[in-house]
Structure 1
Amino acid sequence: MNKGGMLMKKINDMIQILEEKGRFKETKNFIQHGDVSVYEHSILVAKKSLELAEKFNIYVDEEALIRGALLHDYFLYDWHEKDDSHKWHGFFHPMKSLKNAMRDFDISEIEEDIIKKHMFPLTPVPPKTKEAWLVCMADKICAMKETVEPRYKKVWNKVKRIAIS
């Protein structure tokens, strides 16, 4: 099995645990960015976090990194709905995610740091663990791709149609 396959096996094994013991499966019902669900986004962030650790040769607690990445957006609601409780989603969802994760699982200090600090600098306290820094960076990379790429593809296809006609 290649490295990418091994990473996905570790992630999929953790997903199975989170779905059996908690409500991780519910994240499939909520859109995060563009047409990407919170479920898909969380998996992409976990994969990108592991890739960054490998690329920069950073030794990490892989289990905590994967679990923290998968639960970093465990807020369990549709933040796109017009609702005053979602008004400041970017600032407050890390604590809502942590509260839900702590209700459903035993959360380690590393996992808590990942979930609580993944929105830095929107949340003012920076991560203290390397795993949380990696998830914070991976989250930004994935969010940007999920938001920009669909729009870029749509514009590019329009440009190609105009150029051909």
Structure 2
Amino acid sequence: MKQKAWQNDRVYRAIVDDLLAHQEVQELVNYPQHHHSDRLTHSIDVSYLSYRVGLRLGLNATALARAGILHDLFYYDWRETKFELGTHAFIHPRVSLRNAEKLTPLSNMEKDIILKHMWGSTWAMPHYWESFVLNIVDDWTAVSDFLNPVTDRLMTLSTLRWVRRRS
């Protein structure tokens, strides 16, 4: 199986490996996320892409990487579980923040990133550029996760057509 870029990025790994070592984080693999992904894979994808964007923009890439791992740290299927106090989009950032605070100390920026990562679906306005970045990357990753089977199929079909034309 081919390794993903984040697995070979030693600087990124030094930032997040302590979080990934927690059983509570590893358990996210057991929860579906956006139809074609699990929550752990989604969280790592959001974390690494946010980290890379943060580096390019001169932002706090460490906070982005760590908050990205923790931003969806909840243990229920959001399609099935309903809340009296609001929608999943409203509730889960608070649940994730509470769970993250049990695992590791968080900076004010990391707390804001986790709590505000659903801005647009919620009214809580981000206080940092990093919170906006993770919000956008999370949305992008969710759409990509959902569309992966379609894009994979299209790429396979176009590759087959190209091969047939060359034969």
TM-score by length of 1: 0.79
The count of aligned residue pairs is 156
Q: State how far apart, in whole Å, the 1-side matches of 2:118 and 2:112 are.
A: 11
Q: State how far apart, in whole Å, the 2-side matches of 1:144 and 1:49 are.
A: 15
SS at match of 1:128: coil
- The reply on whether 1:148 has 2:147 as its aligned counterpart is yes
Please say if residues 21 and 105 of structure 1, whose CA atoms lie closer than 8 Å, have aligned partners that are also in contact. no
Q: State how far apart, in whole Å, the 2-side matches of 1:109 and 1:23 are.
A: 22
Deviation at 1:128, TM superposition (A): 1.1
Unaligned runs of 5+ in 2: none
Deviation at 1:75, TM superposition (A): 1.3
Q: Does the C-alpha gap of structure 1 residues 19 and 43 become closer, same or farther in structure 2, counting only changes over 3 Å?
A: closer
- The reply on whether 1:49 has 2:65 as its aligned counterpart is no
Q: State how far apart, in whole Å, the 1-side matches of 2:58 and 2:158 are.
A: 44
Deviation at 1:9, TM superposition (A): 2.6
Which residue does the alignment assign to 1:121?
A: 120
Q: State how far apart, in whole Å, the 2-side matches of 1:53 and 1:7 are.
A: 18
Q: Does the C-alpha gap of structure 1 residues 22 and 157 become closer, same or farther in structure 2, counting only changes over 3 Å?
A: closer
SS at match of 1:84: coil
Structure 1: which amino acid aligns with 2:43?
A: S
Which residue does the alignment assign to 1:130?
A: 129
Please say if residues 54 and 61 of structure 2, whose CA atoms lie closer than 8 Å, have aligned partners that are also in contact. no
Please say if residues 46 and 137 of structure 2, whose CA atoms lie closer than 8 Å, have aligned partners that are also in contact. yes
SS at match of 1:85: coil
Deviation at 1:61, TM superposition (A): 2.1
Q: How do residues 1-16 of structure 1 correspond to structure 2 at under 5 angstroms? A: 8-16=9-17
Which residue does the alignment assign to 2:89?
A: 90
Q: Does the C-alpha gap of structure 1 residues 26 and 15 become closer, same or farther in structure 2, counting only changes over 3 Å?
A: farther
Please say if residues 45 and 141 of structure 2, whose CA atoms lie closer than 8 Å, have aligned partners that are also in contact. yes
Which residue does the alignment assign to 1:68?
A: 67
Please say if residues 8 and 47 of structure 1, whose CA atoms lie closer than 8 Å, have aligned partners that are also in contact. no
Please say if residues 11 and 46 of structure 1, whose CA atoms lie closer than 8 Å, have aligned partners that are also in contact. no
Q: Does the C-alpha gap of structure 1 residues 110 and 152 become closer, same or farther in structure 2, counting only changes over 3 Å?
A: same
Which residue does the alignment assign to 1:18?
A: 19
SS at match of 1:140: helix
Deviations 1:98-143 (A, max 9, x none): 0111122211101101100011111112211121111111101111
Deviation at 1:151, TM superposition (A): 3.5
Q: State how far apart, in whole Å, the 2-side matches of 1:7 and 1:61 are.
A: 21
Please say if residues 6 and 13 of structure 2, whose CA atoms lie closer than 8 Å, have aligned partners that are also in contact. no
Q: Does the C-alpha gap of structure 1 residues 71 and 16 become closer, same or farther in structure 2, counting only changes over 3 Å?
A: same
| RMSD, aligned CA | 2.9
Structure 2: which amino acid aligns with 1:93?
A: H
Point out the more displaced range, 97-106 or 17-26: 17-26
TM-score by length of 2: 0.78
